[in-house]
Amino acid sequence: MNAFLAELGKRAADRWLTLLVLPGALFLAVSGAGVLVLGHERWYDVRALADAVNSIGGASRGTGQVLMFVVFLGLGASAVGLAARAVGGGVERLWLTTSRGRASRWLTARRRTRWSIADQRYRTALLRGSGEASHEATAYELDALLIARDQICPVNPERPTWMGDRVRATSERVHLMYDVDFASLWPRLWLCMPDATCAELIAARTALSAEARLFGWGLLYLPLAGWWWPSGVISMVTCLVAWSRGRTAAATLAELAESTVDLYGRDLAEQLGVNCSGTFSRDIGLEVTRILRKDG
């Protein structure tokens, strides 16, 4: 038990240092350098920054003062890190939000219009390909049109953001394919999956939260641009990188979640007592949903 508690404390300390203290200390360093030393006019003055650091390091201070400085630095970095986590949680909710509010409804309607146009182009080319041979659409054209539509959303959009719709599309695609209620299926399916699969899903979900947290850090750097304009560049680059990587993480999470239904849906049906001698089909999905919903 002592060894377990020691290892647990070590991991907690590592996570606290990695997620909160180090990024928070960097933020405090950039804030102090940009706001208190450099400013807009001397934004590139490395010598002034070096002189400021030397003056701080050369000042005679007792052990107690140094210790208090380290303690307050750690507390300040932790506080900034917690603020970034809170902002990142809000960013994640915005990324995965439903259509609430006038702006969200407008964005959702705009995405739905774009998807409808892309879907109509794909279906028109598909029908043209099945018609006269002289107007036959090539497989390359059909693939390009299908990719263009799915880049907006694999299904008809219902959320203002691409990430929100990409994650939501998993449940709708599963329902269309197997006629199963994904919300009822997922908790039971999780218990049927091997540890390696669960670890992959946890890693994908953690990656999405990490990118939202990185976006939150980028937003925290933005107000500093009022005193030191390069902070605005840092903020913009950080947010763009986090947004791009967040899209990748959301797509990976959705693909993994959908894949688990394809691979382990049959195992769950068998554990529920549903006869599944063949593939996981719509009839089996309906029976599984009836059992999971306790419809009787």
What CA–CA distance (Å, rounded) separates 268 from 236? 46
The one-letter amino acid at 274? V
What CA–CA distance (Å, rounded) separates 24 from 237? 18
- Residue 293 — pLDDT band, cuts 50, 70, 90? confident
Residue 168, classified by CB atoms within 10 Å of its CB into exposed (0-12), middle (13-18) or buried (19+), is: buried
**CB distance 281 to 178 below 8 Å:** yes
Per-residue pLDDT, 71: 62
In this prediction, residues 81-102 reach a mean pLDDT of 83
The one-letter amino acid at 183? A
Indicate the pTM of the whole model: 0.79
What CA–CA distance (Å, rounded) separates 148 from 70? 53
- Model confidence pLDDT, tens digit, residues 184-219: 889 889 988 888 999 999 999 999 999 999 999 899
246-275 exposure pattern, b = at least 16 Cβ within 10 A, e = fewer: bbebbbbbbebbbebbeebbbebbeeeebe
Over the chain, what is the mean pLDDT? 79
Helices then strands, counting H and E runs in the chain, come out as 11, 0
- Model confidence pLDDT, tens digit, residues 129-155: 655 544 445 777 888 888 888 888 888
In this prediction, residues 245-259 reach a mean pLDDT of 92
What CA–CA distance (Å, rounded) separates 49 from 46? 5
- Report the candidate in 168, 23, 40 with the shortest Cα–Cα distance to residue 98: 168
- Model confidence pLDDT, tens digit, residues 6-64: 444 445 445 555 556 677 777 777 777 766 666 666 666 566 666 656 665 555 555 65
Residue 224 has pLDDT above 70, yes or no: yes
In this prediction, residues 237-265 reach a mean pLDDT of 92
Q: At what angle do helices 230-271 and 195-221 cross, to 10 degrees?
A: 160
Percent of the chain whose predicted confidence (pLDDT) is above 90: 14
